[in-house]
Amino acid sequence: MMILVTGGLGYIGSHTVVELLGNGFEVVIVDDLSNSEKFILENIEEVSGKKFTFYPFDLKKKELLSQVFQAHNIGGCIHFAAHKSVGESQEMPLKYYENNLFTLIHLLQEFKDRELSNFIFSSSCTVYGQAEHMPIKEDTPLKVPKSAYGKTKQMGEEILKDFARAYDKKVSILRYFNPIGAHPSGKLGELPVGIPNNLVPYITQTAAGLREFLSIWGNDYPTPDGTAIRDYIYVVDLAKAHVAALKKLLACEENKVIDIFNLGTGRGVSVLEMVKIYEKANNVNVPYRICERRSGDITLAYADVRKAQKEMGWRSETTMEEALKTTWNWQSYLNTKD
């Protein structure tokens, strides 16, 4: 079966393409390279040993997207392509609403017009805000996100629910917690543009000497060590969850399906804990400074993953130490490309 993967050269997308190819799916990637590099194309082929089709254009170009659907017998879509910087989304909200919502709508219009189904959406735990109870379940009440980025994810979910109900489609909404790590080969990983927004790339660049120190935003949270706690999931485990979600949709004989799954480990790790685990796993030093809290950051978030285990037969299997070792291998590979 041919699967369309939007943003397939990005961090999570590239790992998912490898898993799809390894499970016998054919893949068509659409990616405008705004958050990736073209060498990832070759690396996916090298790692997977498989070929795929690639189109380098922006999904807002509706005519080009239609041509892709005309050229291929698409059996499903995994939609990663989106702007994702929380900070930038606050400064440029219209850019985020236009890109993240219009591209989703363009894809769904093609699915409706061509009577296609099996759509998987890359969502985020940001839709929960600061939940009152832990672990966070899929039926935990959602809160209006503080960032335009988060709002586009929540709006995207609502669009997909209406789409599935109105047109009898099968949809899976995957709410990620905090993806980390790189492919075991060291040939695929996260490529932050400028100063990293996420913790682990910042730790990695600091350990590699690319940053003078790691900024830890607040140590006065009501947690054991005063730093914020998150659920960090290894990116390859996350990629495998997409394959499991796709297989579940394909096997379902019902026409109208709205699956929602939390994807995490079910365990919270503090910022300081993460620094210590990273240092031990890679035998490196990570200098850091405590800074004032950032506005909008939450204290604690980790997933209840029992639904994914029960309904998809999936669970995160990689230890934090194993995941963090892969980031150092990836950084070492990037150093050779400079």
Q: Using 50, 70 and 90 to split pLDDT, how confident is the model at 220? A: very high
Q: Where are the alpha helices (DSSP H) in 192-270?
A: 199-207, 235-251
Does this model's pTM top 0.75? My answer is yes
* From 149, 202, 232, 278, the catalytic residue: 149
Res 338: pLDDT? 64
**Residue 149 annotated as catalytic:** yes
Give tens-digit pLDDT for 121-170. Answer: 999 999 999 999 999 999 999 999 989 999 999 999 999 999 999 999 99
User: Helices in the chain by DSSP H: which ranges?
Assistant: 11-22, 39-48, 62-71, 86-91, 93-113, 148-167, 199-207, 235-251, 271-282, 306-312, 320-337
- pLDDT tens across 271-303, in order? 999 999 999 999 999 999 999 998 878 999 999
User: How many angstroms separate the CA atoms of 303 and 231, rounded?
Assistant: 7
Cα gap 333→242, rounded to integer Å: 26
The pLDDT score that the predictor gives to residue 297 is: 87
